[in-house]
Structure 1
Amino acid sequence: MSATADAKEFVRRWKGILSAVPEGKNNEQQDTAKFWQDLLVNVLGVPSSSVATFVDFERKVRGRRIDVFVSDHHFLCEQKSVGVDLDKPEPRQGRMETPYQQAIWYAQHLPYSERPRWLMTCNFETFRLYDLDEERPEDGMQEFTLDELPDYVHMLSFLTSKETSRLHKEQQLSIEAGGYVSKLYDALSKQYHHIDGDDETAREEQRSLNVLITRIIFMLYAEDADLLQSHSAFGDFCRRDPHKLRGRLMELFRVIDTPVTERDEYMDGELAAFPYVNGGLFSDSSIVIPQMTDEIAQAIVDASEGFMWRDISGVIFGGVFEGTLNPETRHAGGMHYTSVENIERCLKPLFLDELWDELHRAEGERSNAKRKQMLNALHDKIASITIGDPACGSGNFLTEAYRQLRTIENRIIEDENGDQTVLSLDNPIRVSLDQLCGIEINDFAVAVAKTALWITEEQMLRKTQEILPTYSFDFLPLRNLSNIREGNALTTDWSEVFPSDLTYLVGNPPFLGARNQTKEQKAELLSVFDGAKNAGNIDYCGAWYMKAARFTQGKRTRCALVSTNSICQGEQVANLWKPLVDLGIHIDFAHTTFRWDNEAADKAHVFCIIVGFSREVSKKRLYMHESPDAPEDLRFPKNINAYLADAPDAFVWNRSTPICNVPKIGIGNKPIDGGFYLFSDDEMVDFLKAEPGAKQYFHKWIGAREFLHGESRWCLYLGNATFSDLKALPRCRERIESVREYRLASKSSPTRKLAETPARFHVENMPKGNSIVFPRHSSERRKYLPLGFIGPDILCGDANTMLPDATIYHFGVLHSQFHNAWIRTVAGRLKSDYRYSGGVVYNNFVWPEPTDAQRGEIERCAQAVLDARAAQEGATLSDMYDPNNETFFPDLMRAHRELDAAVEVAYGVDFDGDEERIVAHLFNLYAEKTAN
């Protein structure tokens, strides 16, 4: 439905709820939460799984509580009970305030970084919206009633618009910062003499360039964050005499890496003014610093004057810097910069949702003593959490985890001390960067990760200072982050990096499929799996799962990894997950396939999943994505198996024969002919004009495009032609010779071997009866994988799967929701498209055992599907099975629903098309079939 239609339903629902409440008797606090959650989720489209962290109810500020607060979108609402006059003052802290004045008080007393733009006052029946960006917000106030909400719902779009969120602004800043980084990178790289080479010197120069840029950007950040002696100290330093800047920078780096007490007391005053930084960022004196130019100096000055670096997100910082890496290097390592939204998809169900729930429960406690006790317990908890990332890249996951922990800690500090002057000398900050550990193979990424963490630490200290302005915090000198380790995670002993009582393990291991791995990576993978024979076809990230499973033995560590979706699809599932389950691992939560967009300049569009797993018993959460771009729908299944289905743990192995008594399946014909045997309509006509005797050797050709889109092609098959037949067909002989030459030129020895029989195909599948044909790859958008019949006169190409000697009954069951649900669950994928295979999908599908009457009904319904298709002249299978076109084919959709119902009856169940129950039932049948 549209937002307007959803709003009308919301109005109808809440008018009924409010009319049933006696006047003056509604529970303002409880009804406020229900009312706004309903509005946010069911009208404005906030995912139900995110609403708990999206909106704060009863947010405490200086001893008072905001009714509704959406920090990320700069909004707060002062909610009143039904019937309360929104213009009438009420006593608040010794004075009379209207609801609007109360909202203004909250806005003024929130930490500066959280102050809202939009205020609202509401009494369930009337909404008043104020924009604090206006000079006189009261004059621009917008008012509407509950009845009028459908006409005004667009005015609340800022609550869910990405453009109004703090995160969006941080992303925009990161893009702007990326421009300065890129300009600086280009100017500096020109001055390196050997950087374009492929030897050790070139690699050292590339590393030096990356480290140099990291140092420069940190100094730009430091001056904007008021960590240096003046706001433009570094920019001013670089502005003077560019041609001497190389030596000046080398001297500056030595100075800021030297404690003040150990410096030359007679050094230049400008240098002496710079603080001691430490942290290891400036300690490597071996890096190559090239000669500086006017262009380089100007790039630094422009970055200093043109951008406020203190506002950049430490989480996004990594993506900006990763953009300076050589693209080939990034591809080879399988690295993809991670957006904050996707990081939170991993961290929220792992531990953040639980922590925020605990904070909200503590803040909602009315007893001061009990609230203080709960807040202290939560503070103890977050201060003891340890988090490890064994593929930490530029530190995105660790940085966001730290930012969230410190945000919760700042809330605790605010709850406990925000309305009073702090006299205690004890440091209220207990969450530390020491709680974070990482392993990363790229040395530059390690430097970036550390820098991102330092930046985030400084930003969170600043937010603490907003809460406690009288308290003094020292950021410099930096501490060495030795817990972020350079190394190969697959050859490193994790127990040497992560504490034995590690709380959480998170990460985004490299996205490399089995075919894209180098020899070294394949060897690492096999080593992790102890050389298991089936491990070679597992994606590279699977090695991190096995390492995690072994590392967590005897521990309560909970894990969550972002992965290519193929590890939970097709034949990889059994090969990877059976050993994990044998080690005691089970899945706690998961996101099914979604599109993994990122914020880097060259966005990596990857289809991935998130899997949370441990040895602990926990409440299961399954975030279902109907399509890769759809929002998640949170479910609470009894179990999540390795196919990310609410079904028993069962493993579908690649099987050579069907598990039931049904025809064997195969692929279509595979010519390996260089295209010499395939013709368009016009090409065939021209060929036959010149050589009419070849007509008997032409057959209609059905590849995937021809099958789905109704295109026409022909195949010249000469495998059964004798020499005497071919004597009179010189053009056919030319084609045979062209195929022979094509095969001989191949780098593949099996293909060269095929040159001995050039008239025949590599794979020949030409049954004498009717066959069912369906494409081997099909869009995930289709509810039904299109199937069709072909006769023996048509040749099927290998882009299709074919079932020879098939009947209308086989067609009916294979075209039903039951079989399509099985496909959606166990089939492999190409990106997000289904990859149908005989060995995994067809041969393991458990067929029904119908009575004669049930079989007859399936056949009748299957024929009705074929008849409904035949009635649609001019429409292709692609047209008819496009979900966007369903309304144009009502008879076909009706025929499919009747077929689904008939097949469901044959299975002896009554699920009314509930796909989750269908999948669970099929897994139960499969488990029974394979029990022995």
Structure 2
Amino acid sequence: MNAVEIEAAISDLAQQPFDPAEFPYAFLEAFGNKATTIKRLRSGASNKSDLGGVLQTNNIHIAVADGGAVTQTLEALKASPATSRAKARFILATDGVDFEAEDLENGETVACTYEAFPDHFGFFLPLAGISTVKQLRDSSFDIRATSRLNRLYVELLKDNPDWGTEHQRHEMNHFMARLIFCFFAEDTDIFSGSGLFTDTVARMSARDSANTHEVISEIFHAMNTKQAERAAAGIPRWADGFPYVNGGLFSGSVEVPRFSKIARSYLLHIGGLDWTQINPDIFGSMIQAVADDEERGSLGMHYTSVPNILKVLNPLFLDDLREKLEEAGDNPRKLLNLRNRMAKIRVFDPACGSGNFLVIAYKQMRAIEADINQRRGEPNRPTDIPLTNFRGIELRDFSAEIARLALIIAEYQCDLLYRGKKLALAEFLPLDSENWITCGNALRLDWLSICPPTGTGVKLHADDLFESPLDQAQIDFENEGGETYICGNPPYLGSTWQTKEQKQDLDRIFGSRTKTWKTLDYVAGWFMKAADYGLHTPTVAAFVTTNSICQGQQVSILWPLIFDTGHEIVFAHTSFKWANLASYNAGVTVAIVAIANNLQSTKKIYSLSNANQTALKEVDTINAYLVAGKNIIVCPTDRIMSGLSKMDNGNKPVDGGHLLLEPDEVPILLLNEEEKSLFIRRYVGSQELINGRLRYCIWITDANRERAENIPSINRRIALVRDERLRSTKKMTRDTAERPHAFQQVRQTGDETLLVVPRVSSENRDYLPCAIMEPGAIMSDKVFALYDAPLWNLALIVSRLHWVWIGAVCVRLEMRFSYSNTLGWNTFPVPTLTEKNKADLTRCAENILLAREAHFPATIADLYDPEKMPADLRHAHEQNDEVLERIYIGRRFKNDTERLEKLFDLYTKMTATPNSAAKAKREAS
């Protein structure tokens, strides 16, 4: 269950009559516990409560209290030995009137009436495996509002299916934006009288909902009609209390979908929420999913935390503004200069979604401006920061509408906070009709027209703030001489998952620049557009991006094009999880990369330490791998640069599985011992190597093909391979149907000693998996192998130095390593090794293998679990790293950053010989 679904279940529970016996089980069920789990608790099989309550190990201890004894019962739960033994995180006590709970991990508490406990559902989200942040717990309202709006949306579409079609989807989304504004306005005194909208609908619409749509339509009509024109427009007296709003929000059609009794009830319940609590930082990103069929299934999982967004905005420009504020002190002239500068800053998000980055940037700037005004003795001064300086492009029209609405709400809330209610209300209505969020494809629109750096663009003539054109919007709100900062979180999409239209988008941007653009992630388009924008004006652009554009082959495709425009990486945040509200905090691994052409002498690299604290390092240059060092590009090459043994691919069967065998399939072939010895080999891929899985293959050489075909059980499988290959759409595969007895690609004779490295492995291990396979084993195409190579090569592969090199230059699948021989091994910088060096490293490799052998039959996965790694094996690896790193610099490296910097320095020297880099690139292509 996601957060929105949990909120709905909790709210339903609170509305039902309190049942003391059933409450604990119903509460746990609302947080996603399965029926089997609840059944075990009911039976006592897993319920270890010593107070007659319900105790779920590692989660919560619940007890129903006697009337008026909730506090005492909570204290008893806290003191309970069973609570401690079961390591319960939460304790909860209620008597159906009062409700109290405590998080024993951090000491936070909840105390409220029973009916109000759904307001605190975010407090308990860890029960569902959802990691939360304080901001979310403090703003559970946004999830509650999203949940109810989603129910209303779905219910309306049931009775108005036409409103869900492509033709009317925009009207439906526009209707929802109008409702959100009304709910907010009636609770914040924008409408005179609390609850004006909800109360009017309740009073004027029939209980059977027959005329609910007509009542709402009249209200919308009133808010688009000036007071002086209302009599002529026929506005009924009961609707005359609504103010004139304009700004395009209520212009155009005022048609409203028909309401069922259930939909009317949902509407009134939504109006009953306290909309003063709305947080536009969060709400926009959640509500956009309501109107998106694809996203509704994951409703509530798209929350983006403010701390993550500030990882972009702070180093982009907010830190600088705060530093200038600190420097200004109480100097009126310096404060005025800073305020004037801020009034001209444009923040441009060309993938703005529901406006999170723009809203947070606006609120942070208003806070700085308020401090300036306070120091200058002008606390109630109107803001000089116009909303129109917060520009955005968004593909989906509803998200674009929500972005504008979120900014309008943020402006009102800031005015309320910094200027007081009277002034905030006096200047809020009517809304402006200026259009500063454009709906369209950011990779096809001209950014210079949407956010012109010199204020010379052509103004978009539109009376409707909430009616963005789908084609190019050219807008110009005077702002001569201001700074422009580009930011956002564009869609990532690796090449495999891009649609035809998205491929065309990238082709338009990269097609004339490079022939190899097709492997780029979709987000690369935003970086290139930002670099092109920067050719016309000094700017800084910072995007959240998949870390894959800073790893592997994409680096050599994208970053030379960026650097050729005169841009450099001016700050970066290395890989971290961009968390959302999915269970167990699922999230994509991202980096933040900022490029600029107004080159700065000091660059900044941010990274998360092992303690999850942000560390900052100031450097002269940041390369495309987000490492301090020259802008070197590591290109895949077939030439081994450091005198290492050759690493080759494994063998590729392309057999439809007919040459591969599970252990229980071998006896079915009915082979005698000689035939088994001749034709059956152990088969090793990544899973077999790491997890010790046992698999076999049928391995037939040309020399013994005839004998194999005379064995009926093997011949049947050979025939199936032939049929499989003949059905292939690939010519090369069909051609190998003539040799169905053999793997399609054969890299070994089958008699070599092998050093084997998996293609894909977990980043959680401190060392890359590598193992020795005795002669006879056959390697799959899921591994790389060194055939009959000296053992000292293993010492290099399993070193920490190689681990950090692979992590930087090879592709990652999420955070997992995707190894490459041409990119990771052939380029690995190694100083010239003496014979003594090789002997020392050979001894280190032997010690590692002996330490593994001492723990037989433990697998690689068992031995290299970072929490359970045997002490003798860890010592052997530490000794290996000691020996190797002394070869590099005469001592141990201080950390991985120092390791990478040294490796890139060596690589730069390795490729500094005439034409060496170009030669490597030619070989790779």
For the aligned pair, the TM-score class normalised by the smaller chain equals 0.7 to 0.9
Q: 1:664 Cα deviation (Å)? A: 2.6
Distance 1:756 1:291, change over 3 A: farther
Match of 2:811 in 1: 828
Question: Of residues 498, 517, 525 in structure 2, which corresponds to 1:517?
Answer: 498
The amino acid of 1:919's aligned partner reads L
Q: Deviations over 1:562-620 (max 9, x none)?
A: 11110001110111111111211111211111111224899872111111221221532
Q: 1:261 Cα deviation (Å)? A: 2.9
Question: Of residues 645, 649, 654 in structure 1, which corresponds to 2:636?
Answer: 654
* Superposition map of 1:201-600 within 5 A: 202-239=165-202, 240-241=205-206, 242-265=209-232, 267-285=235-253, 289-305=256-272, 307-328=273-294, 338-362=304-328, 365=329, 370-417=330-377, 427-466=381-420, 473-500=426-453, 501-531=482-512, 532-599=514-581
Q: 1:721 Cα deviation (Å)? A: 6.1
The amino acid of 2:896's aligned partner reads E
Match of 1:176 in 2: 144
Q: TM-score with structure 2 length normalisation?
A: 0.77
Q: Residue 879 of structure 1: SS of its match in structure 2? A: helix
Match of 1:881 in 2: 864
Distance 1:205 1:754, change over 3 A: farther
* Superposition map of 1:729-878 within 5 A: 729-746=711-728, 750-767=732-749, 768-878=751-861
Q: Residue 769 of structure 1: SS of its match in structure 2? A: coil
Distance 1:454 1:601, change over 3 A: farther
Contact residue 683 and residue 777 of structure 2 kept, 8 A: yes
Identity of aligned residues (%): 34
Q: 1:168 Cα deviation (Å)? A: 2.6
Contact residue 391 and residue 438 of structure 1 kept, 8 A: yes
CA distance in 2, matches of 1:430, 1:360: 20
CA distance in 2, matches of 1:751, 1:645: 42
CA distance in 2, matches of 1:600, 1:480: 38
Distance 1:380 1:330, change over 3 A: farther
CA distance in 2, matches of 1:618, 1:632: 22
CA distance in 1, matches of 2:358, 2:701: 62
Q: Deviations over 1:390-428 (max 9, x none)?
A: 11111111111111111222233344448x8x7xxxx43
Contact residue 693 and residue 729 of structure 1 kept, 8 A: no
CA distance in 1, matches of 2:371, 2:157: 44
* Superposition map of 1:33-182 within 5 A: 167-182=135-150
Q: Deviations over 1:39-76 (max 9, x none)?
A: xxxxxxxxxxxxxxxxxxxxxxxxxxxxxxxxxxxxxx
Match of 1:43 in 2: none
The amino acid of 1:401's aligned partner reads A
**Considering only aligned residues, what root-mean-square deviation do their CA atoms show, in Å?**
2.9
Q: 1:746 Cα deviation (Å)? A: 4.6
CA distance in 1, matches of 2:200, 2:840: 85
Q: Residue 388 of structure 1: SS of its match in structure 2? A: strand
The amino acid of 2:563's aligned partner reads V
Q: 1:926 Cα deviation (Å)? A: 1.4
The amino acid of 1:270's aligned partner reads W
Q: Residue 185 of structure 1: SS of its match in structure 2? A: helix
CA distance in 1, matches of 2:162, 2:178: 21
Contact residue 461 and residue 473 of structure 1 kept, 8 A: no
Distance 1:302 1:154, change over 3 A: closer
Q: 1:646 Cα deviation (Å)? A: 1.9
Match of 2:880 in 1: 899
Q: Residue 299 of structure 1: SS of its match in structure 2? A: helix
Contact residue 170 and residue 313 of structure 1 kept, 8 A: no
Q: Residue 636 of structure 1: SS of its match in structure 2? A: strand
CA distance in 2, matches of 1:543, 1:594: 22
Match of 1:910 in 2: 891
Distance 1:375 1:469, change over 3 A: farther
Distance 1:262 1:755, change over 3 A: farther
* Superposition map of 1:606-621 within 5 A: 606-615=588-597, 616-621=599-604
Distance 1:750 1:301, change over 3 A: farther
Q: Deviations over 1:701-760 (max 9, x none)?
A: 111111111221111123436464135410111112223333444555554444343222
CA distance in 2, matches of 1:232, 1:165: 31
The amino acid of 1:262's aligned partner reads E
Match of 2:30 in 1: none
Q: Residue 868 of structure 2: SS of its match in structure 1? A: helix
The answer to whether structure 1 residue 189 and structure 2 residue 157 are counterparts is yes
Q: Deviations over 1:172-199 (max 9, x none)?
A: 2211111111111111111223467xxx
The amino acid of 2:384's aligned partner reads R
Q: TM-score with structure 1 length normalisation?
A: 0.76
Contact residue 349 and residue 393 of structure 2 kept, 8 A: yes
Contact residue 694 and residue 729 of structure 1 kept, 8 A: no
Distance 1:546 1:211, change over 3 A: same
Q: 1:677 Cα deviation (Å)? A: 2.2
The amino acid of 1:922's aligned partner reads L
The amino acid of 1:180's aligned partner reads R
CA distance in 2, matches of 1:536, 1:170: 44
Match of 2:25 in 1: none
Q: Deviations over 1:850-876 (max 9, x none)?
A: 222222212222221122221222221
Q: Which runs of 5+ in 2 are unaligned?
A: 1-103, 111-121, 124-131, 454-481, 915-925
Match of 2:78 in 1: none
CA distance in 2, matches of 1:752, 1:171: 61
Match of 1:94 in 2: none
Contact residue 673 and residue 739 of structure 1 kept, 8 A: yes
CA distance in 1, matches of 2:316, 2:433: 28
Distance 1:434 1:599, change over 3 A: farther
Q: Deviations over 1:766-810 (max 9, x none)?
A: 244322101111111122101111233000111111122311121
The amino acid of 2:444's aligned partner reads T
Distance 1:215 1:156, change over 3 A: closer
Contact residue 502 and residue 557 of structure 1 kept, 8 A: yes
Distance 1:750 1:213, change over 3 A: farther
Count how many residue pairs are aligned between Structure 1 and Structure 2.
753
CA distance in 2, matches of 1:913, 1:811: 23
The amino acid of 2:177's aligned partner reads T
CA distance in 2, matches of 1:733, 1:721: 16
Q: Deviations over 1:676-716 (max 9, x none)?
A: 22223232234346897344200011111111112211111
CA distance in 2, matches of 1:750, 1:234: 69
CA distance in 2, matches of 1:253, 1:762: 69
Contact residue 336 and residue 604 of structure 1 kept, 8 A: no
The amino acid of 2:151's aligned partner reads K
Contact residue 755 and residue 789 of structure 2 kept, 8 A: yes
Q: Which runs of 5+ in 1 are unaligned?
A: 1-151, 197-201
CA distance in 2, matches of 1:170, 1:279: 32
